[in-house]
Structure 1
C-alpha cells in the first residue's frame, strides 16, 4: 500500500449516527434554554414578546375547568331563596377579586353586565332581587357589602370619573356634571354623592354617567380564595365589613 494513501474510515452504523444527532440536538436545546433563563432566570424582552404555544392538553384542561365553573354557577343559582340573606341596605358596593382563569363565558358575561371587566374594579349597585341573583351566580369572583356614607364620598371624590365621548374625564368640573345630569337636578359632585348614597330616583342615570372605579391592589388582604368570606375565604357578602376593605383599596 502506498505511503500517502489515506486510511479507510471506520464503519459506524446508522443507528449510532442517529443517536449522536439526537444527543447533539438535545445539548443545543439545553444550552439555549439556560441562556434564555427558562429554568429560573428572568426571560429576555425578546422572548417575553413571543406568545406561548399551547399544547392540546392545556386546551383540554382549560375546557374542563370552564365546564366545572358552569356546573358550579348553575348549582349556586339553584340555592333556595331562604339561604340568601335579604339585603339590609338598598346600596351595595361590588368589587371583582378574581381574574378570568378557568372562567366560563356565561360567568364572564354576568361580570360584564355588572360592568366588572377588570380585577379590583368596583361598582355601586342597587340591591334588587335581580342583582342579588347575579351576584349569587358569580360569587367566587366578587365580594360586596354595604358601603357607609364616608366611603361612598371618598370613592367618588378619589376614584370617580365620567365617560364623555368614550373618554375618562375626572369629576373636577361641575360644568361637565351639570351639562350631562342637569336635567335631573344634579349639578355638582355633592349631588352625585347624595344620589348614590341614598339610591335616589336617578341612581341608574348617575351610576352609568360614572365609569367603574379602579381600586388599588390590597396588599395581603385578598388571598385569592374563592370560598365565601364567612367561611374564611375572600368572596361573597361581607356586609358592613366591606368598608374595611374599601378603605385599604381606595
Structure 2
C-alpha cells in the first residue's frame, strides 16, 4: 500500500515539473473551404460545420484560441487558413458580407447595430479582436466567394509544404481572398 502512495506522489511531482507553454497570441484568421465532402470522415465534416463552412469556396473569420487551433489542425486537409490583413477584411465585408434576407452589409446597418460608424471601423475592430462576427446583429457568419480567378497556384489535394494550397498558408490568404472576392 505504501508503494502505491509513493507512485501517486511521484506522478504528481512529474506533472508539476512540466513547463507550461505560454498560449499563442490570439489573432484573426480567415478560413476558406477548398475541398468538398465526398468521402470525408464525419468527424472532420462536423468540425467544418462548427466553423460554419458548409460548402466549397465559403469563408469565415475566427479568433485563434486553443480550441480553434485544434479545429484548424483537424480540418487542415480540406481548408486553407491564415492571418488576414485589415485591408482584405475591409474588402471582404464590403463586397461579400450579407445580412439576414440576403441583404448586403451597409454602413447604416453597422451604425444602427454596433458602436462602429463604418465598414472600415468594423474591419479594424474585427482585426484587432475587439468584436466578433456574431456580435453584429443579423450578420451571416459565412461569406460565399467566387472560385479564384486564374485558379489556385498548386494542387487542391496537397498541403502547402508539398506544393499545394491546403493548411496554414499564412499571408497568402490575402492573395486568395483578392482572387475570390
TM range (shorter): 0.7 to 0.9
TM-score by length of 1: 0.57
How far apart, in 1, do the equivalents of 2:157 and 2:64 lie? 22
Which structure's residues are more often helix, by fraction? Answer: 1
Task: Quote the residue 1:145 is aligned against.
Answer: 82
How far apart, in 2, do the equivalents of 1:161 and 1:91 lie? 19
Pairwise CA RMSD of aligned residues? 2.3
How far apart, in 2, do the equivalents of 1:221 and 1:242 lie? 11
Deviation at 1:208, TM superposition (A): 7.6
Deviation at 1:205, TM superposition (A): 1.4
CA distances 1:86-115 after superposition (whole Å, capped 9, x unpaired): 867611000000001111222111101100
TM-score by length of 2: 0.77
Residues 87/229 of structure 1: CA separation in 2 closer, same or farther (3 Å cut)? farther
Residues 213/115 of structure 1: CA separation in 2 closer, same or farther (3 Å cut)? same
The alignment covers a number of residue pairs equal to 158
Matches within 5 A, 1:124-139: 124-139=61-76
How far apart, in 2, do the equivalents of 1:223 and 1:202 lie? 32
Bigger relative CO (Cα 8 Å, ≥ 6 apart): 2
1:114 correspondence with 2:51: yes
Query: What secondary structure, in the 3-state scheme, does the structure 2 residue paired with 1:190 have?
Result: helix
Task: Quote the residue 1:160 is aligned against.
Answer: 97
Structure whose CA Rg is larger? 1
Deviation at 1:193, TM superposition (A): 1.4
Which structure's residues are more often strand, by fraction? Answer: 2
5+ long unaligned stretches in structure 2: 1-22
